[in-house]
Structure 1
């Protein structure tokens, strides 16, 4: 089995059996192609079934000079999955990547907005503009439901269950989940639907897509990023933010107000509670308030 055949088979397995997203598969392909090119220059001519831990350690060390610690760990994850697949299919007896240690990555806390900053950002939307009501509904949904930007752009009208108080979201790997939506968010989405979208000329392929551009087609991720940056600048918010900042803020504010971490995990669509703990960090101001309010020796 040569590299190309093994990589093709593995990516097909990831797509069909594991249901991974195109972005994940593209990342795996990039990492595995890097290994294939490197192995072809070895004098021993290593192939997927014979390459050993020593060669793979050398490959990872060589790659470390070009990659950040996070990218190194993604590379290791790609290799680990690939060789686990070869073991699972009976092509190899061992996974040579298992004993190679991951790079140490410092815990980077996500940036968030305060509730006041979110109010200022939404207030900066020009509602007299033809896309004003749409933009307000977008921002309310990002913060009100903690959606990823790709989940928002893919949201369909048939995914909205307002009477039940839920929306159906298609997350990573096309995994669907139900996310609660509050009355305030519903109000602004319905204003956009009933007063703006209903008057648009819609491209036939996007009749069920909720958020549309001026040409009646779906919005791109880049458009949402641009909109967020423009609103932050207009609101005078001196932070580098993205649509994902609303997701961080959604989770952080829920946690600060007493929401259960498991419930937040389910709403965000995280497989691991560890991921939720990173996303829903508690800022130092809140911690100081907790000490000042509850510690028995808070005052002299």
Structure 2
């Protein structure tokens, strides 16, 4: 690369993105802004072309944009990740073009994004949701109530529940066989409310729905007698949430989050919850173990000998 300057190298990379990659005008504009800030930072450190940039320069730049130490606006982790992607792409392009011997940005990772706590429903909200699902006459409300009761009772994914066959559920023992990611199987207990709801559906509603189809082992059927789809399961939940007056965004995963949160709040061991959810690692389950400030205060006041006085 030698005599090529940073500006020329950036222009060549942006031209490559426009012509070879066909990126949109808005995406190109974002890349241009990100690289312009990076160029200014490198120039301030006395770097005049890509061959002079070191891994330390890139690492220091990531820290600078997070804190605003380069004179620009401090960026959140998500925005920094986008910025790092632009820097990675430019240096990788420079190495492929032979302008540099190595890619100094390759070992540099974007900052980890903060893990957000899942939004769980309160017990009263779950109750309202489940009751709203069963409103109306005919087989569909019985099916919808059974579907949501089973989701909350087992913490299963929507794909696992709509994928159930009649033989996967044993109402006498109160157990269900779930098939998770990678077809990994687990047996999960089913609570009495869910058992009652599913039994009512199987006896009073499923035969009527099945009469419209050609015979399928699926537990949950649509009005054509076919296996209920994931999308239809979502629609069931959305309608119930609307009827229950719940304003927050709710998905089938919300019930899964609520299942785990309520179990842990009730004293369940995190390893048990891990098995119930089908998580490969307990680390994934531990996100639910974070304690609310309200519970912290309650436990502190109740347990500490000098908390009240």
Question: What range describes the TM-score normalised by the shorter chain of this pair?
Answer: 0.5 to 0.7
Q: Is the 8 A contact 1:142 1:152 kept in 2?
A: yes
Q: 2:122 maps to what in 1?
A: 114
Aligned match of 1:152:
161
* Partners of 2:177 and 2:188 within 8 A in 1: yes
- What SS does structure 1 have at the residue aligned with 2:188? strand
Aligned to 1:122, the other structure's residue is in SS state helix
* 1:158–1:188 Cα change, 3 Å: same
Match for residue 213 of structure 2 among 191, 203, 208: 203
Q: Is the 8 A contact 1:248 1:280 kept in 2?
A: no
Shift of 1:129: 4.5
- Aligned-pair distance for 1:153? 1.1
> TM-score when scaled to structure 2?
0.63
The 10-residue stretch of structure 1 (277-286 or 149-158) with the greater mean CA deviation from structure 2: 277-286
Which one of the candidate residues 220, 237, 240 is aligned to 1:228?
237
Does 1:142 pair with 2:142?
A: no
Q: Across the two proteins, how many residue pairs are aligned to each other?
A: 220
In the alignment, what sits opposite 2:192?
Answer: 183
CA gap of 1:112–1:181, structure 2 versus 1, over 3 A, is same
1:102 positional shift: 5.3
The 1:129/1:102 distance shift into structure 2, 3 A limit, reads farther
Aligned to 2:92: none
Q: Can you list the C-alpha shifts for 1:15-42, whole angstroms capped at 9, x where unaligned?
A: xxxxxxxxxxxxxxxxxxxxxx99xx69
Show the 5 A alignment for 1:16-95. Answer: none
2:112 — aligned with what?
Answer: 104
Does residue 282 of structure 1 match 2:291?
yes
Whether the aligned pair in 2 keeps the contact of 1:252 and 1:281 (CA below 8 Å) is: no
Counterpart Cα distance in 1 of 2:246 and 2:196? 26
Q: How far off is 1:280 after superposition? A: 4.6
SS in 1 for 2:178: strand
Bigger Rg over Cα: 2
TM-aligned CA distance change 1:202 to 1:290, over 3 Å: farther
* Cα deviation, residue 237, structure 1: 1.6
Which consecutive unaligned segments of at least 5 residues does structure 2 have? 1-15, 22-54, 63-76, 86-104
Helix, strand or coil at the partner of 1:178: strand
Asked if the contact 1:270/1:276 (under 8 Å) is kept, the reply is: yes
Residues 262 and 273, structure 1, Cα contact 8 Å, conserved in 2: yes
Relative CO higher for 1 or 2, CA cutoff 8 Å, sep ≥ 6? 1
1:246 aligns with 2:255: yes
Residue 178 of structure 2 corresponds to which residue in structure 1?
169
Q: What CA RMSD, in Å, does the superposition of the two structures yield over aligned residues? A: 3.1
Counterparts of 1:101 and 1:194 in 2: how far apart (Å)? Answer: 56
CA distance in 1, matches of 2:292, 2:153: 20
